[in-house]
Amino acid sequence: MRAYPLSLRSRWSSLLAVAIQLIVLPAATGHAQRVAPGSPDEMVLQAYTFRHQTASEAVQLVYPLLSPRGTVEVQPKGNTLVLRDTRAAIDRILPVLRNFDHAARPLRLEIFLVKASRTPVSPPIRRSDLPDWLTRRLRDLLAYDIFEMQAQAQLSGVEGQKVTYDLGREYRVSFRFGTVLEGGRTKLNGFRISRPAVDGKAEAVLLQTSLNLWVDRTTSLGLAKSEASREALMVVLTLREGDAPRTNGGGGR
């Protein structure tokens, strides 16, 4: 082995130390500052298992409350959400999940199906066989003169339950009640109105969507080929809490 003078070896050792510092120090400067345990910015893992509601339906409530570093994972078998986020974010999220995870509440949907039309004569003939409050509402919304009731029913169920109901012979409505959130908002999932198959004709779907409704507020939908159509089918929906007998319409399933 070749021997180097002591002064040369010392010089190499100094250069090597400098090189190591040049390599290590820049990497060290990129490390995040440590967060003290118990601090609001500390990252924590939190699992929440639902007793009454479905975990996957709560994800939409969690996303807006996560911090930029937060994540949420659904474990369907355990009906559980696994949250990883700052302690401050978890403290925001848990009360929302507890409020969401309530026992299924009874709900009822009041529904009117109304045929609306315009008269071809002038001045127009105005006629309605609807309740006065509903006539006023529809006339304020639409340029129609005649309103004829096609079907009416109160459809009862509980949060999470699927409902299918025949409104007389001409119409069928189906949907799944969502969970009532804070503020009284819920969703009718897969809301569908159709004409049942008769005389060899296939079922005709008139409307298929998901609707956001608020308890004790009325929502009106109009189904027409165009804004200039002389006829339209109006769907008037009011969501209520509590049970109600089914009336006026046909059979529920």
pLDDT tens figures, 97-116: 999 999 999 999 999 999 99
Count CA within 13 A, CB hemisphere, residue 26. 5
160 DSSP 8-state letter: T
Q: In the prediction, which pLDDT does 161 show?
A: 93
Residue type (1 letter), 206: L
Whether residue 94 has pLDDT greater than 70:
yes
Whether residue 96 has pLDDT greater than 80:
yes
pTM over cut 0.85: no
65 DSSP 8-state letter: G
Burial of 133 (0-12, 13-18, 19+ CB in 10 A): exposed
pLDDT tens figures, 62-79: 999 999 999 999 999 999
Domain boundaries, the chain: 43-100, 106-241
Angle made by CA atoms 203, 209, 211, in degrees to the nearest 5 = 135
In CATH terms, the fold of domain 43-100 is: Ribosomal Protein S8; Chain: A, domain 1 (3.30.1370)
pLDDT tens figures, 223-233: 887 777 788 89
CB contact set of 127 (below 8 Å; sequence gap of 6+): 145, 146, 147
Task: Identify which has the larger pLDDT, 29 or 80.
Answer: 80
